[in-house]
Amino acid sequence: RFNWNSPILLSHHNSEIIYFGGNRLFKSFDRGDSWPVVSPDLTTADPAKLAGNVPFCTITSMAESALDPNLLLVGTDDGLVQRSQDGGLSWTNLTGRFPGAPAEWWVSRVELSRHSRDVAYASFTGYREDDPRPMLFASENRGENWVSIAGNLPRESINVVREDPRNPQVLWVGTDGGVYVTFDRGSLWHPLRQGLPTVAVHDLAVHPRDRELVIATHGRGIWVLEVAPLQELSD
């Protein structure tokens, strides 16, 4: 089974390796010429959901650690977050460890830190269930325990979270209303509204060399913001 927007991911460590998500994780070792399956079904495979189309028990987000090629994180449209620490050979279901998050809400993004092997982030969206609460979580121990870092974020569904590649205290979030940034890992969030319209933001990328935030919106094109000054703010 495959999501409408099936995730694809190029390895940080080997340009021959590409990950692709269905209901299982595919891992190509030859740039896509072949696609071995390296996981069991990582979803609930709930027959009631399979009878419909949203959710459809599929992978929606994947992350590979930039520090450890064996550390993988996967999120699904039926609320599961799964972790592998051996490159996909075995998996641990982390579901139920996110305080306040409904058990079956769509996992919109999983993110592994570039600064620490132990730090991870995950966001959920209740958009399809008329639940606009911001659901954003961080872990300091590879997903064993999670805490909410939604802080003062408004009631807007979260679509993406990114850790800044230069400053681990800086996080970027894209919601159904725009972009927000924190300089203290979620204690206080600030909107980035100068020139950016009120629009759903579905993806973010922080360019590590050019130090630009690239913002992908739903219907208003691509926006770019120079973020070097924001990356260097002190307490």
Q: How far is 109 from 231, CA to CA, in rounded Å?
A: 22
By the 8 A CB rule, do 215 and 179 touch? yes
pLDDT, one tens digit for every residue, the chain (235 residues): 999 999 999 999 999 999 999 999 999 999 999 999 999 999 999 999 999 888 999 999 999 999 999 999 999 999 999 999 999 999 999 999 999 999 999 999 999 999 999 999 999 999 999 999 999 999 999 999 999 999 999 999 999 999 999 999 999 999 999 999 999 999 999 999 889 999 999 999 999 999 999 999 999 999 999 999 999 987 7
pLDDT of res. 53: 83
* Residue 177 CA from chain centroid, whole number: 17
Q: Please, how many CA atoms are within 13 Å of residue 141, restricted to the half-sphere of its CB?
A: 6
Residue ranges in the chain assigned as alpha helix (H): 47-50, 228-231
pLDDT of res. 145: 98
pLDDT of res. 52: 86
Report which DSSP code applies to 4.
Answer: T
Q: CA torsion 96→99→104→105, rounded to 10°? A: -140
**Nearest in space to 60 (alpha carbons), one of 10, 111, 22, 34:** 22
Cβ-based neighbour number of residue 195 at 10 Å: 7
Q: How far is 126 from 148, CA to CA, in rounded Å?
A: 16
The helix (run of H) or strand (run of E) holding residue 224 is: strand 222-226
pLDDT of res. 194: 84
Tell me the pTM.
Answer: 0.96
